[in-house]
Structure 1
Amino acid sequence: MTTRFVSLLCAAALLSVFAPAHARPVTIENCGVTTTWKQPPARVVTIGQHETELLLALGLKEKIVGTAVWFGALPPALQADGKGLKRLAENAPGFEAVVAQRPDLVAAQYTYHVGDQGEVATRQQFEQLGIHTWIAPADCVGKSLTAGSNGDGGRDTPFTLDLIYQEIASLATLFDVEARGKALTDALQQRVAEARRTAQAAMKPEANAKVVFWFSSTRLNGDPWVAGSAGAPGWIARTLGLTNIINTREEWPAVSWETIARSDPDYLVLASMDRRLYPADDIVQKLAFLRNDPVTREMKAVKQNHIIVVPAMSLNPSLRNVDAVEALSQRIAAFHAGS
């Protein structure tokens, strides 16, 4: 996150002190569930790093009583506020561990943690205890969880950052921090516009450059989970004028390296994470595989070292999608400057 971004958030925090509270009660519709709040939530458990980062970016660190599902470190601008947050689990927490924090709101990044077949619990189970739930709109709006592979589902409507802006506005209203929410959205929009200009200038002679986004895979020599064209990486590619060669509405399909090599992408974007559920979670192993496998080492992007490593969170629908747009635009500009 840029210095100007942090400054805008600080200014919004000051403005919100003097801003009138939103009229109560507040009614919020979220992923098919409507809840009414007489007061802003006081105790929140976040299940998903995006939800944690969003509440921190809105200046709500004192509301967070527990967190879970972490891919890696917080971005530098949020590390001070995020220091000392209670981690209930690195991955999915137990239902009892969440309830023990006495939350009045559980905010989840993914439907599969608190949806109808929730890995942690269903929304109904939480509601029976008087605990409201929130699911990131990016994981339910325009999305089908029955289509696609790997539990990530497919998208009926391509993802755009408007879903993140919608979430910012809803939570800012819920927590009576609307000025902070507007400042956060304005800062994100400015950063996207600047990154787009950087990339367009760098790639002017190179129309329709091709890209592949590799998240992980169960086996290094197996089919990788790569981003489809309708998820967050698809939006990142379109924003920068790149063509994602994986043209499917599935979010993270498994595609063979032979298929990817035939399309010979100009750039490979790799997810880096602290999580270690699968061998390809490890970025060192990813890079070694690409440079040694007889199929992948012959790809143009590998030969030219046009490999861009970004935090895994920046490839999931989140505030960090803007970080990815910036990182790719800067690296692409650097590639062209050195050519």
Structure 2
Amino acid sequence: MTKHLIAPGVMALVLTSTAVTAQQTSYPLTIANCGHTLTFEGPPENTVALGQSTTELLYLLGLGDTVSGTAVWFNPVLPQFEELNDGIERLADNDPSFESVVNKKPDLVTVMYEWHVGPEGIVGTREMFHDVGVPTYVMPTECEKKDNLVGLDGTRSELFSTDQLYKSIAQLSEIYDVQDRGAALIEDLKASESKAIEKASGLSLPDGTSGLFWFSSAEIDTNPFVAGQKGVPAYMMDKLGVENVVTSDEEWPSVGWETLAKADPTFIVIAEMDRRRFPADDIEKKREFLMNDPVAREMAAVKKGRIITIDAHAMSPTVRAIYALDQVADALAGYDLK
């Protein structure tokens, strides 16, 4: 059984801690957000969270009582929020309808992926929501230094930075007037990130160590969706000091197994998820494919059993990505790579 990533510090985080102090929000509050300007007359009281990331961030900020609906999930909720999450309506595991969101009469919709609510949003455009008086907040991780109209899941102009995640937390805590909680959460996450980076830098991996992150595939035997050069997995590989065998700048390019096998990564990281949009969402089908496909099974990583499993949600710009870095570093430390 895979151990799902849980932030050790977050588990123990006391949101009322006096160790971190922050000012109260002064309303009306105006925030620039992914090409839109939002103005809040007071803290939102009824939120629909489109995306596991934004939902869990609201929970971590102690704002679960404001969430009336949620959607777009990959993995089980963090264990400490199981009871809370069970009491909140799941509008859809994947993509909810525009009507189902608006019918909750939210005074804010928080959005993890711009392809759900954006210029070509499959749930709706931001203008559609704003026209009916529903403001939308898109995570800065999704739009800053990234063009979501290039490639299947967008293309970043710079390597992902956790600063974008911390900005999201800071802005949400300001919107909801819980800036002390946001500051405490950011402090905790930064400490955990520093420890993970320190562990990664101490691995002393051999020159030429390389990695491959496989998210899913439209069909199990077709070209897989693998991590490009500038997304969250690329951030992890950068901190680990390993090469990414995928050369594309797209977030999740589709690359042939022949090309990947020729690159012969030292290790492979595969995503585990509850979602079943594609056949390869099933972790067991991924493993079976790697072991039996005549091309994939010839890779050294497969032959030597250097296959690491992490939550799919940790391959996106979320709090779990920080702990996935630590998890991958632990796994690499257990391999004889010298």
TM-score by length of 1: 0.93
Structure 1 residue 210: Cα displacement: 0.2
Superposed CA RMSD in Å reads 1.9
Aligned to 1:22: 25
Q: CA deviation at 1:45?
A: 0.2
2:314 corresponds to? 314
The equivalent residue for 1:36 is 39
Shift of the alpha carbon at 1:80? 4.2
Distance change >3 Å, CA 19–CA 226, structure 1 → 2:
closer
Q: Which residue of 2 aligns with 1:262?
A: 262
Shift of 1:244: 1.0
Q: Render the CA deviation track for 1:136-162: whole Å, top value 9, x for unaligned.
A: 1111111112222x2x01111221111
Match of 2:3 in 1: none
- Distance (Å, rounded) in 1 between the aligned partners of 2:306 and 2:256: 20
Aligned position for 2:10: 5
2:37 & 2:88 partners in 1: Cα distance? 29
Q: Given that residues 208 and 241 in structure 1 are in contact (C-alpha distance below 8 angstroms), is that contact kept between their aligned partners in structure 2?
A: no
Distance in 2, Cα, partners of 1:71 & 1:38: 33
Q: Please state how far the C-alpha of 1:335 moved relative to its aligned partner.
A: 2.4
Amino acid aligned to 2:67: I
Shift of 1:212: 0.3
Unaligned runs of 5+ in 1: none
Is 1:332 the counterpart of 2:332? The answer is yes
Query: What secondary structure, in the 3-state scheme, does the structure 2 residue paired with 1:29 have?
Result: strand
Is contact 1:66–1:87 with CA below 8 Å preserved after alignment?
yes
The 5-angstrom pairing of residues 35-114 of structure 1 reads 35-114=38-117
Aligned to 2:161: 160
Residue matched to 1:188: 189
Q: Cα distance, 1:22 vs. partner?
A: 1.5
In the alignment, structure 1 residue 137 sits paired with structure 2 residue 140:
yes
Provide closer, same or farther for how the CA distance between residues 265 and 19 of structure 1 changes in structure 2, counting only shifts above 3 A.
closer
Partners of 2:93 and 2:205 in 1: how far apart?
Answer: 44
Q: Could you tell me which runs of 5 or more consecutive residues in structure 2 were left unpaired when the two chains were aligned.
A: 1-5
2-side partners of 1:215 and 1:205: how far apart?
A: 24
In structure 2, do the counterparts of structure 1 residues 79 and 250 end up closer, same or farther at CA, with 3 Å as the change threshold? same
Q: Indicate the SS of the match to 1:111.
A: coil
Question: TM-score, with normalisation over the residues of structure 2?
Answer: 0.94
Distance in 2 (alpha carbons) for counterparts of 1:46 and 1:5: 20
Q: Distance in 2 between matches of 1:17 and 1:224?
A: 44
| Structure 1 consecutive aligned stretches of length 4 or more whose deviation exceeds 6 Å | 16-19
Structure 2 CA distance for partners of 1:76 and 1:208, relative to 1, 3 Å: farther
Separation in 2 of the partners of 1:294 and 1:318? 35
Cα separation, partners in 2 of 1:147 and 1:3, compared to 1, 3 Å: closer
Asked if 2 retains the 8 angstrom alpha-carbon contact of 1:16 and 1:179, the reply is no
Say how many residue pairs are matched.
333
Once the two structures are superposed, what CA deviation does each residue of 1:1-54 show, in whole Å capped at 9, x if it has no partner?
2443322x21x3354999653211111110011111110111000111111111
